[in-house]
Each structure stands twice: as structure tokens, then as C-alpha cells.
Amino acid sequence: MPAKVLTVTSGKGGVGKTTATANIAAALAASGAKVVCIDADIGLRNLDVVLGLENRIVYDLVDVVEGRCRLRQAMIRDKRLPELYLIPAAQTRDKSAVSPSDMVRLCDELRPEFDWVFIDSPAGIERGFRNAIAPADISIVITNPEVSAVRDADRIIGLIEAEEKGPPRLIINRIKPEMVKKGDMLSADDVLELLAIELLGLIPEDEEVIISTNRGVPVALDGKSRAGQAFRNIASRLRGEQVPFMEMEEPGGFLSQIRSFWRKGGG
């Protein structure tokens, strides 16, 4: 079956696009799917370091587009997950080195070989975003429960709708359940009501994300991390499984401890 092309975007920078791309892709690859990630953030590449593949770059996206190498030569295979590949961005060029039609052509070439093509979009609404969204079958908008991130997400959703890409799906990242409980952070329901698109996943704030990124290992491969579990849940939903949304209550809270005790006891 030809691959689905999925673009992860947000408008605002720093909300977790690259982390989400790396982890959802890794979770899908870990379950046996063949996945390739394209870093579309030319000039500010980071998907390579988040995936721990930075030392293996020889060719990049711009080399492929400009014909200096074959597509296959620019694909870095992850040794831990042999079904996961990365096409890194060029670091010394800018967004104009690639056009939206280049991206469409590239993805058409990748489709027959893969189950999933992930595109990590740069922040912003300019050329880099246009490049990233052009070949998308599915677009994912990621946001944080903060006013600036929500506003930018709304703008991006409007632009995706204007491109007639079909409604994007939403990931709310870095939720702090204890702040939500105190009324000091927008809840997932609040954000969902404001943005009014279909929810794909909720990811709690989790220090393990920083720790695993330090090591260059996707947190989705860490069986104990809550964020890792949330990313695996998103991967399952993309495969078409019905997975309930993670409860965003305080992980160490007394109630949740009792609940998880019962859950473990009851299998």
C-alpha cells in the first residue's frame, strides 16, 4: 500500500514539532511500519539530533532536489529501528532552496517504498511551511496550552483549510496537569473548544523528553515515560486503532496511584 504523507506543523516555534515527528515516526517504525522522516526545516535542522542520527549525514534534502545524489543516498537508516529512515535538511541553505512542487515530487517517489512519510515543518507561515504542507495527505497541528501557541495554531489551521488539505488533527503537547487543576493552565478541553478540530493526542509535560533527547533516543521507545506512552497512543490512532485519551491528572497523585494499582492488578 502506498505511503500516507503526514506533515507536522504548528506556526509557533518550540512547541514540539520535531519531538512529535521523531517520536510518532519511531513508535510506528517500532511496530513494524516502514517510515521515512523528512526534515523540511532547511537552515535550522534538528530532526537529526533528536533522532540521534547527526553523525551519519552525508547528503541532505537539497542535495536530492538539486540532483547531487540519488534519493536513496540521502536516506539515513536508523540502526535501532531498521524500518526508520531520515532525510535530513541542509544546514547551510535556506527555505527557498526547495519548492512545494519539489516536495510533492520527492514524496511521490517515496510513496511506493514506505508505509508513512513524515514531514517536520519549520515554524512560520512562509515558504518552509508551504513546502512542508504541499505533499501532505494528513496534517497534524501541534500546540501547547498557552495563548501564543494556540493563536498561532489557529492561524495555521486556517491556512491548511485554505489549501483545501482537509481538516488537520490536533496534538496538545506539554500539558501540566497540576497547573490545569489549579486553573492556571488552559485544559485540553479549553484548547479543543477554541481550535475546534479533531483531537489526535494529549501529551503531558515530562522531563524524560529532555533526558531522552539529550541521548538522541526517542522517548517513545522508553516504556516507562508518560510522554512516550502518549506518542505510542498517537501512533496507534494513526494506524486506525481506538485508543482512549490519556488522563492528564497528576502522575504521582494519590488517586492515580490507586487507579494504576487497580489497573495493574486487574490486567
Q: Residue 106 interacts with other proteins (CB under 8 A)? A: no
Beta strands per DSSP E along 98-204: 116-120, 138-143, 169-175, 198-204
Region from 19-27, 156-164, 233-241, 253-261 binding other proteins, contact rule CB under 8 A: 156-164
| 3-class secondary-structure state, position 238 | helix
Q: Residue 197 interacts with other proteins (CB under 8 A)? A: yes
Kindly tell me which of 182 and 224 has the beta carbon lying closer to other proteins: 182
Q: Residue 264 interacts with other proteins (CB under 8 A)? A: no
Region from 17-25, 28-36, 103-111, 179-187 binding other proteins, contact rule CB under 8 A: 179-187
Region from 39-47, 62-70, 148-156, 203-211 binding other proteins, contact rule CB under 8 A: 148-156
For 4, the grid coordinates are: 500516507
Q: Residue 184 interacts with other proteins (CB under 8 A)? A: yes
State how far the Cα of 62 lies from the Cα of 77, in Å rounded to an integer. 18
Q: Residue 147 interacts with other proteins (CB under 8 A)? A: yes
Angle between helices 226-238 and 207-215 (to 10 degrees): 80
Kindly tell me which of 57 and 194 has the beta carbon lying closer to other proteins: 194
Q: Residue 164 interacts with other proteins (CB under 8 A)? A: no
For 79, the grid coordinates are: 540502526
Are 230 and 237 in contact by the 8 Å Cβ rule? The answer is no
Encoded amino acid at 84, one letter: L
Q: Residue 158 interacts with other proteins (CB under 8 A)? A: yes
Which secondary structure element, helix H or strand E, spans residue 5, and what is its range? strand 4-9
- CA 16 vs CA 11, 43, 107: distances in Å: 11, 18, 23
Within its chain, how far is the Cα of 227 from the centroid? 13
Are 157 and 168 in contact by the 8 Å Cβ rule? The answer is yes
Region from 54-62, 115-123, 150-158, 220-228 binding other proteins, contact rule CB under 8 A: 150-158
Q: Residue 250 interacts with other proteins (CB under 8 A)? A: no
Which string of x and - marks every residue 51-80 that binds other proteins (by CB under 8 A)? ------------------------------
Are 205 and 176 in contact by the 8 Å Cβ rule? The answer is yes
Q: Residue 15 interacts with other proteins (CB under 8 A)? A: no
Q: Residue 255 interacts with other proteins (CB under 8 A)? A: no
Binding site for other proteins (CB under 8 A): 147, 150-151, 154-155, 157-158, 161, 180, 182-187, 190, 193-197
